[in-house]
Structure 1
Amino acid sequence: MTDLLFYHLETRPLESVLPMLLEKTIERGWRAVVEVGSAERLEIIDSALWTYSDDSFLPHAVARGEEGDAIQPVLLTGGDENPNGAAIRFFVDRATPRQLDGYERLVYIFNGHDPDAVTEAREVWRTLKPVYDLTYWQQDEGGRWSKKA
C-alpha cells in the first residue's frame, strides 16, 4: 500500500522545509513531482528552490509539457501529470491529495497557522485513510519532525 505522509508546518516555512525533503528524495534515487496549489506560488517555490542555499544545488524545473520534463529529477506543476515518472508526489500550498496510482509515497505539507489548511488536512485524512497507509508528522519548536500518528 502507498504511504501518505502528512507534514504539519509549525515553526519553519515551506520554503525551508521542501528543499530538505527533496534533497532526501534525490538521495534515495527517486524522482519527485511537486504539485502546487496556485500558479503564483509555483513561481515563488521555483525561485526558492534555486536560492535556498549557497552551497547546494537542487536540480528541478517547472513542467511545461515539453520533452525535457521527462528527465527532471524534480518537477514542479500545477496539474496532475507525472511526466518524469516520479516515485513520490508532494502536495503543497493547498494542493489537495487524492487517490492516485503509480507512486511509492505521497507527501502532503500544510501550514499549521492557516485554519483553513488545517481543516482541509483533517478532511483529507478522513477521506484517504481507507486508501493509504497514513502517518502524521509535526514540527517541534526546533523545527525537527516528530511522528504523532
Structure 2
Amino acid sequence: MTVRLETLPHRHVLTLPAVPAAVRMARETAELALVEWGIGLRHPAVDPALLILGELVTNSVRHAADRSPQLTVIYAAGRDCLAVAVHDRHPCRPPLYDAIGSGSGGLATVMEVTMGLGGSAVVRPDADGLGKSVWITLPL
C-alpha cells in the first residue's frame, strides 16, 4: 500500500511525555480524531490501528525515553486509508520486516497485523540521524 501521506486531508499531531500513561492518551486521542473525521469506532480497521498505535507508543516509552523525554504521535486519514506514526529522538531504527514471523514482542505484532490487513510500514530517520518516525498505513 503506497500512500503519499502529505496528501491525506485529515491530520492531528499530539506530543506526549515518554511515560506509560502516554499509551492511553494516544489511543484516546486517536478515537476522538477518528470520530471527528467520520470514521466510526466499529470500522474493522480501527481496533487493529489502536493496537498498533499502543504497541508503537509502548516501544518508544520502553526503549527511547532515556534519550527522548517526549514522543510525538501523528494521526492522518483519507477516504481509503488511515496512517499513524510515532516519533522519538532515539537514533535506533528498528528492522520492521525482520520482526515478521518472530512471534516475540510488540514489533512482531505490529508487523503481523499491518501486513495481514494489507498495510505498509516504514521507519523514517530524522534529517540529523538522531531520531526516527515509525509510520504504519492501513487501508480503510
TM-score (norm 1): 0.28
Give 1 or 2: higher helix fraction: 2
- The structure showing larger relative contact order (alpha-carbon pairs under 8 Å, at least 6 residues apart) is 1
TM-score (normalizing by structure 2): 0.29
